[in-house]
Amino acid sequence: MTHAMGFGENDLRESAGARSFERGLGYVDAVTGLEVGDGWFTATVHGGDAYEVEITDDGDDGVSGECDCPYGLEGNFCKHCVAVGLVVLRQADLIPRQRTAAAARAGNLESWLESLDRDALLALLRQQLADDRDLRRRLELRAATAVSDIAAVRDRIADLLATGRFSRHGYVDYADSRAYGEQAGEAVAAIESLTASGQAAEAVGLARWAIRLLGEAYEQIDDSSGYVGSVAADLMAAHLDACRVARPDPEETARWLVGHQLGNDNDATDADPVDYREVLGERGLAQVRELATEAWQRKPSGWAEKYLMERLEKAEGDVDALVAVCAADLAPNGATHLRIALELDAAGREAEALAWAERGLKDTEGSVHVDSRLMDWVCARYERSGRAAEAVTVRRGRLRADRSLAAYQNLRTVARTVGCWESEREAALGLLRSDAARQRQGWGGGPVLVDALLDDGDPDAAWEAAADRADDRQWLTLADRVKDSRPADALGVYLRLAEPLKQVAGDGNYQQLARLLLGARTCHEKLGTQEEFAGYLAALRAGQKRKRNLMKILDQHGL
């Protein structure tokens, strides 16, 4: 049912996905401090930590949300957003009145502020500054920028880029990285303000200094979300804008760019000289090339040196020079061979491109670690030119070197195209059977043979191959596949996997236990032993009754 605010449970489920939605059901009682605005709702959700959530009513487009939990910081509509949304829906009848009250409070505040004279407003602001250190630091920076106090601006930027207040254990963890990034963004804004106010030369120097500080700080930050990296990109853009206005010495700028790119503090910021073409001019670009070439010749295997040379050659469109740079240090997994092939192919030199890619296959023959994109590219080229049989040979060789499910699947796909999968399958399964006999395991711990037979749609053969060698993941997949045809066998798997989950806590474990119980119930229904399952479930609930979240989850699943 859709309520007056424009979204309903289905919208929450669609935004979050089934898994997060189900988990969010267990957090409804953990929502506190709900505040209602014009199209938005904020609240705190108490889980492993206290998370701040804001969801927005997008009208016909449903609902969106933000949360400062790790999953939410990745841009996902998380279980905490779901919980807040469900609370809002449960209070749907109260929302219009709460919105009216919120609008009235905002209007009263605006009217009151407008009624204050200058001295009263200043007194109010000073009181707020005394209580709010962050606000005071932001306004101090604006004031220093406005009066061109570069020393003060420099000091404020140093404070904004310091990690101390966000560093709990010697580094800024994932949960605090966004807050640090928002603070660092204020330093970027200050540099942009200097450029806009006619102080571009000062902005250039401060930007370079800030880039160094942020580069040093970045080593202590878990920036898995990429938020601090986006701030770093903004900082580099602010430097480039300042350079376009101030026009610093081209050769000095070239030396700084190359030094930064080859230095130790460039993880956060990429100073691409090609972006500075307008600022550098011919003289500066020549200096960049000279310095970059010297550095690359000294260290041809250096990642930064190589990247810099590749960017310069690519910008000038010299494919042969770019190939020479790449070929000077070929990656052992074939990735560089592929890079060269792609560049030659884009230049219309298809025969040379294929030759380089084939050389990559030869150089990596027998190796487990090969860039899969190289093999995909070569096989696609073979199939396009009517040489699918050669693609089969390539895929067969890959399976011999890397007994993985992916290699098996790739061989099956191309062999079916050629019409030789039946014979290829027997040989391929023979390899995997020999691995299984020697207890050679796949990525999950069980033999790849079981995964391959399951992927082929042959669960009975997979069951026989599993014996006592399959891992729990494989056994669960097997049980799901055979619960209709072999319910007694599948039931044994579900009950065995459920047993250890009775001893642990956590919503994730509870959801998995419920999943196993649903499978067991299906098996009992097939066997006509529903009463036996009812007794098992009653005993389980009695023994686990203190786990309130587990009871809720079982109720949600009708167990």
- Calpha distance 400→291 (Å, rounded): 46
Residue 490 lies in a domain: yes
DSSP assignment letter at 301: T
Q: Is residue 459 part of a domain?
A: yes
The boundaries of the domain holding residue 546 are 483-556
492 assigned to some structural domain: yes
Assigned domain for 158 exists = no
Distances (CA, A) of 502 to 477, 494, 538: 21, 13, 14
Q: How confident is the model at residue 95 (pLDDT cuts 50, 70, 90)?
A: confident
Residues 35 and 109 in one domain: yes
Residue 440 has pLDDT above 70, yes or no: no
pLDDT in tens, 25-70: 889 988 998 888 878 899 999 877 788 999 988 776 778 898 988 8
Residues 412 and 508 in one domain: no
Clarify whether residues 489 and 448 are in a common domain.
no
In a domain, 95, yes or no: yes
Which of 25-34, 138-147, 298-307, 351-360 bottoms out in mean pLDDT, i.e. has the lowest?
A: 138-147
Neighbours of 269 (CB within 10 A): 23
Residue 499 identity: E
Each residue of 203-260: pLDDT tens digit? 999 999 999 999 999 989 988 878 899 999 999 999 999 999 999 999 999 999 999 9
pTM reported for the whole predicted model: 0.65
Whole-number average pLDDT of the chain: 89
Reduced to 3 states (helix: H, G, I; strand: E, B; else coil), residue 84 is helix
Quote the tokens at residue 528.
Answer: 């006509």
Please report, for residues 131, 185, 232, the alpha-carbon distance to residue 182 in angstroms, rounded to integers and kept in the order given.
20, 5, 11
Asked if residue 36 belongs to a domain, the reply is yes
| Domain assignment of residue 103, yes or no | yes
User: What is the pLDDT confidence band of residue 3, given thresholds at 50, 70 and 90?
Assistant: very low
Q: Average pLDDT in the 164-193 region?
A: 87
- Predicted pLDDT at 276: 93
Same domain, 463 and 488: no
- Indicate whether 504 and 426 sit together in one domain: no
pLDDT, tens digit, for every residue of 499-514?
A: 999 988 888 889 999 9
For the chain, give the percent of residues with pLDDT over 70: 97
Domain count of the fold of the chain = 3
Residues 535 and 456 in one domain: no
- pLDDT number for residue 242: 96
pLDDT band of residue 352 (cuts 50, 70, 90) is very high
Domain boundary, last residue among 95, 115, 135: 115
Structural domain ending residue among the three candidates 115, 146, 172: 115
Cα-only R_g, the chain? 31
399 in the same domain as 450: yes
Examine the fold and report which residue of 419, 434, 468 is the final residue of a domain before the chain moves on: 468
* Together in a domain, 458 and 512: no
What tokens were used for 121?
């407003």
Q: Identify whether residues 16 and 65 lie together within a single domain.
A: yes
Give CA separation, 71 vs 16, 66, 67, 174, 225, in Å: 11, 10, 8, 10, 9
Confidence band, pLDDT 50/70/90 cuts, at residue 73: confident
- Residues 456, 500, single domain; the answer is no
Note whether residue 101 is domain-resident.
yes
Q: Which two tokens stand for residue 376?
A: 């995909």
Residues 446, 393: one domain? yes
43/85 same-domain check: yes
Single-letter amino acid code for the residue at 517:
L
